Structure 1
Amino acid sequence: MKYKYLNFLVIFFALGLGILILVLGWPFWLLIFSLLVYIAFQITVSTNIRWNYFVKGFHKNTGMAEQAVGLSFDDGPVENTLRILEVLDRHAVKAAFFCIGENIKTNPEIFKEIIKRGHIVGNHTYSHSKFLGIFSRDGWLSEIKRCDEIAKDIAGVKMELFRPPFGILNPKTKRALKITGHKVIGWSIRPYDAITGSEDLILKRITKNIEKGDLILLHDNMDKTVAILEQLLVILKEQNFGVVRPDELFDINAYT
């Protein structure tokens, strides 16, 4: 159901419930409880990118013939990205890097090195602000466009792929993306490596139920990602999984 129609139904329901409360003396807490449930629902769908509630994204390709998965990294480029690139080179693996505009500006040579080594780059907003969830359409638009502009100025690429920070998507994000035309890239495996200290636990979360067509999310700004990646690529090979670049995983273009 489209969210605007759902909003209409919720408003209609709230008005009807309010009338029943006034006329029949139903307890007022029913209305408060109903509104709290709806708010909780909106927060849930806004922070679960794989539900495709506001914007359809690419998360997993269950129909691919090849026994392969995709690798993606968020929040670079940073110095640690170079160590990630070395590991990927040793295993002849290509990945996608969703980059923050401010980091591209700070580390332009690393950004260009990602592309030079045959990986693809995507838009991860300019600032990766913790308050993106309350940004207006124009706020989202500015974040996306500024990141695009820096990437174009530094490396000459017009990024077609976008991954929202924290997986946040809402009606305002949708309106901004309708203007920019970016494709949304999510994930099917998220091991929460940015907030989990145990490398073993992170690896278990990735490999426990991995299937062909999965897209793995990691962070290249975390020091431990280097060791995790090295072990992961060995495990994938042992389990007969290939690794393909995410644009190949979904058969889409990374650049305009």
Structure 2
Amino acid sequence: MKQKEGNKKGWSNSVKKIAIGAAVVLISLGGVAAVEKAQSSTDKSSTEKSVDSQEEKMKSEAIQQEEKKDQSSIHKNEEQEEPNQSLQEKENQAENSVEPNQSIEEAAKQQNKSIPDMKAEEEVKEKEEEEVKEKAQEKAQETEEKKETKPRVDEEEKADKENKEEKKQENVSSSSENKQEQASAQQSGNQTTPSTPELPTAPSNEENQEEKVVYLTFDDGPSTHTQEILQILDAHNAKGTFFMLGPNMKRFPEATKAIVEGGHEPALHGVSHDAHQIYQSKDTVVGEMKEAQNDLYHLTGVRTNLIRTPYGSVPYMKPEYLEAVHQNGFELWDWNIDSLDWKYKDARYVNGVIHDVETKSFKEPVILLHDKQTTAQHLNDLLDYLSAHGYKMKPLDDTLPVVHF
């Protein structure tokens, strides 16, 4: 009995041990499986992350390509819009215009407009085109005139500056020269006269039958040489016209009065003799002439409306300037013979005037001269020739037809 109970206890212990061992084995297997499952889960997560990263990169690249395509498309659309716009404008212009072979009635019908409206629009367009053409022609003409006259004006301005420098030097030495001349005259007891050149033969009787007239005009005075010029004119029974500057009239009041008292014609040449000042506007032109007019009146009691603008009316006197001087009662004179005494400071100007008087078909030559020393030195030669050939030398007046360029 005791042995059976011992065997039962031993069997029971063996079963327990086996059960415990089996349990340990099962637990071990479960742990390995869990580890493998965890590792598998980790690998899977890593793989999934890698895949997700690649997918995100591909998506980013795809988005960038789409953006580039969109920008390219926008540029293309803009480029296409510009010609489309210009085409649209042309179409609009075409719709609002009449074709060469299309009548106004047909065009009005096509554009859903009334015939009077279409005619009015066409007249406006034609008028605008004519105005554009006229302005272009006027501009081209002004440009051509400036090209032709600019060299002459430039030379005159240069000569004018040189003349001013000469006057400064003359003023310095004028007092000593006058004293020397007086002493020389007292010693010799004879008055010196300008030399007379060889003149052509005397004119025929037929030449003397018809009166021939020339008009001698002197610019830029009065000066220290005005009295000498007046003496030469008186010796030939000649009268001249003196276009004077305001400051010079005030500087040489006696010479200004002598011009009026001698029966010559006083006239106006402005104040500044500077193209940059007088030609700023129509008001500056008129203003300088009025100032010179007042200077003459205060000195002599004489008022004149005869004027000559510095360097002549071309190219500086614009149409509105000309209109302004006329509205203010002035009479503008140019010349038809330029002596070039402003350029040639010797007797060459005399030969030039004689040539022009004899060869040009001017009925009444208006000769440009200047109130200066070199002109006075050779003026007697010119007047000798004109007198010998039957020319009368008269002053300008407001009854004569005005000479313009």
Given the two structures, how large is their TM-score scaled by the length of structure 1? 0.72
Contact 1:140 1:172 in 2 (8 A): no
Report the equivalent of 1:28.
Answer: none
Structure 2 residues not aligned, in runs of 5+: 1-127, 151-209
Inter-CA distance 9–120: structure 2 relative to 1 (3 Å threshold): farther
The one-character-per-residue Cα deviations of 1:6-47 (angstroms, maximum 9, x if unpaired) are xx98961399x9xxxxxxxxxxxxxxxx99845523526888
Q: Comparing both chains, which one has the higher relative contact order based on Cα–Cα distances under 8 Å and sequence gaps of 6 or more?
A: 1
Report the equivalent of 1:215.
Answer: 366
Report the equivalent of 2:132.
Answer: 12
Report the equivalent of 1:40.
Answer: 143
Is 1:78–2:223 an aligned residue pair? yes
Report the equivalent of 1:137.
Answer: 282
Q: How many pairs were matched up?
A: 209
How far 1:179 moved relative to its partner? 3.0
- More strand per residue: 1 or 2? 1
Within 2, Cα distance between the matches of 1:203 and 1:9? Answer: 51
Is 1:184–2:332 an aligned residue pair? yes
Contact 1:119 1:245 in 2 (8 A): yes
Report the equivalent of 1:21.
Answer: none
The one-character-per-residue Cα deviations of 1:83-138 (angstroms, maximum 9, x if unpaired) are 10111111111111000011111111110111011111001112211325741111
Report the equivalent of 1:237.
Answer: 387
2:295 pairs, out of 141, 150, 163, with 150
Is 1:205–2:352 an aligned residue pair? yes
Within 2, Cα distance between the matches of 1:113 and 1:103? Answer: 14
Within 2, Cα distance between the matches of 1:10 and 1:39? Answer: 18
Is 1:116–2:261 an aligned residue pair? yes
Report the equivalent of 1:24.
Answer: none
- Percent identity, aligned pairs only? 27
Moved >4 Å (runs of 4+): 8-11, 34-39, 44-47
Is 1:246–2:393 an aligned residue pair? no
Structure 1 residues not aligned, in runs of 5+: 1-7, 18-33, 48-64
Within 1, Cα distance between the matches of 2:326 and 2:318? Answer: 12
Within 2, Cα distance between the matches of 1:224 and 1:92? Answer: 21
2:376 pairs, out of 221, 226, 229, with 226
Within 2, Cα distance between the matches of 1:209 and 1:178? Answer: 30
Report the equivalent of 1:50.
Answer: none
The one-character-per-residue Cα deviations of 1:133-167 (angstroms, maximum 9, x if unpaired) are 74111111211110111111111111121111100
Contact 1:212 1:241 in 2 (8 A): no
Within 1, Cα distance between the matches of 2:236 and 2:259? Answer: 15
- More helix per residue: 1 or 2? 2
Contact 2:278 2:288 in 1 (8 A): no
How far 1:174 moved relative to its partner? 1.2
The code of the aligned residue for 2:259 comes to I
Inter-CA distance 148–133: structure 2 relative to 1 (3 Å threshold): closer
Report the equivalent of 1:173.
Answer: 321
Q: Which structure has the bigger radius of gyration?
A: 2
Contact 2:346 2:378 in 1 (8 A): no
Contact 1:66 1:212 in 2 (8 A): no
Alignment map for 1:54-73 (pairs within 5 Å): 66-73=211-218
How far 1:68 moved relative to its partner? 1.7
Within 2, Cα distance between the matches of 1:131 and 1:173? Answer: 15
Report the equivalent of 2:192.
Answer: none
Report the equivalent of 1:5.
Answer: none
CA RMSD of aligned residues (A): 3.0
Contact 1:213 1:249 in 2 (8 A): no
Within 2, Cα distance between the matches of 1:167 and 1:235? Answer: 27
Within 1, Cα distance between the matches of 2:278 and 2:318? Answer: 8
Give the secondary-structure state (helix, strand or coil) at the position aligned to 1:43. Answer: helix
How far 1:195 moved relative to its partner? 1.9
Contact 2:345 2:375 in 1 (8 A): no
Contact 2:259 2:265 in 1 (8 A): yes
The code of the aligned residue for 2:223 comes to V
Contact 1:163 1:185 in 2 (8 A): yes
